[in-house]
Chain A
């Protein structure tokens, strides 16, 4: 299974877990699996059915937005990260 790293501000919704094993062949499927495992995450990541525009999912060093968006393929052993925006100062 692929792994997805959860940024600090979202760990409140993943029982404190920072890395979660997820299944799926695309970014969309992986995020569906993630939010099925942790439903409290969903409103923070999605606006309706759409990924919120500031949510960036990286596969390795590549931003899915610069690839094929939600259709970007995810390999079986891929390392994904959800990258937050930056707070003030």
Chain B
């Protein structure tokens, strides 16, 4: 036996739980994509795929679950967590639900990438696939209906309207960016999905320094290929979204994003997801504007996930011989 020689078996009391791996992600700089910028204009991105569930959504999911536990709304072994998701929040619920003893039931549009559906099934999640023509909003409407019908049976986490979503970023992401830039950050950009990242990080950064510019990123059209981003004007608007927080909004085109995803992979070795590439399109636009005006800047954005869940997309090799 392995432990025969030990007087007492090891307790491993200091071993970490998976929750301890969430947050404190690295801040990445760039070598080639930003090489045309003057040294006074810096661009950096938080590597959110370093979270154990593979995306930034681990932060919000953990905080929403901890808040519900703190208020006695959920109990391990008894509660089923319920929500709609395009994938990443669902994966975070699935991971944390398994780790903390909750069943998880998710409404997901049927056209979610096959990789995401496979990950969710691997965690043992109960999936309800909704009409792909209705997109994320169809999943939201369907889950609301079930939550209203059976409120005793489920805890509807409701990521789009749950303040604990944006508060996760207020408590963690905003603080990390301030510390990792030694308080030099001048611009923060994030894509809008639930809007939790922008709301929480933006509020925290503006508390540190009200001059910090907070910039939201949205698709340029309601019909787009920017999986993970919301076109707020035409979608069900999240209750946690306050459009007044952002100093500016940038509209991002799908084709520019796909080209940037290829550049990040091939010029920086960063194989990132679609919303990360959209964030880089926006960050580079701001950086180039500052450079043209002769202004300095420390521009920080966030790369929500890696490319691992988008590898079945066509655009990675478009234009290759």
Contact = CB atoms under 8 A, between A and B. Distances in A.
Given A86-B111, A88-B193, A88-B194, A52 B314 contact: no
Interface stretch (B19-27, B43-51, B133-141, B172-180): B133-141
B134 to A, nearest CB: 6
Interface in B85-113: 85-89, 109, 111-112
A88 B230 contact: yes
Contact of A86 (B228, B255, B258): B228
A54 B133 contact: no
B254 A54 contact: yes
A53 B193 contact: no
Taking chain B's interface residues, is the majority helix, strand, or loop, or is none over half, making it mixed?
loop
Contacts of B193: 87-89
Contacts of A81: 132-133
Interface in A58-89: 65, 81, 83-89
A83 B135 CA distance: 9
Nearest to B197: A88
A84 B85 CA distance: 15
Contacts, number: 103
A34 to B, nearest CB: 14
Size bracket of the A interface = 20 to 34
Contacts of B112: 86
A64 to B, nearest CB: 12
B84 A89 contact: yes
Interface in A6-23: 6-10, 12, 18
B132 A83 contact: yes
B225 A87 contact: no
A53 B109 contact: no
Nearest to B85: A89
Interface of B: 84-89, 109, 111-112, 132-138, 159-160, 191-194, 221-231, 234-235, 254-255, 258, 275, 313-315, 318
Given A87-B227, A87-B228, 4 more contacts: A52-B225, A84-B135, A86-B86, A89-B160
Q: Which 6 A-B pairs give the minimum distances between C-beta atoms?
A: A88-B193, A54-B225, A9-B222, A87-B136, A86-B86, A87-B230
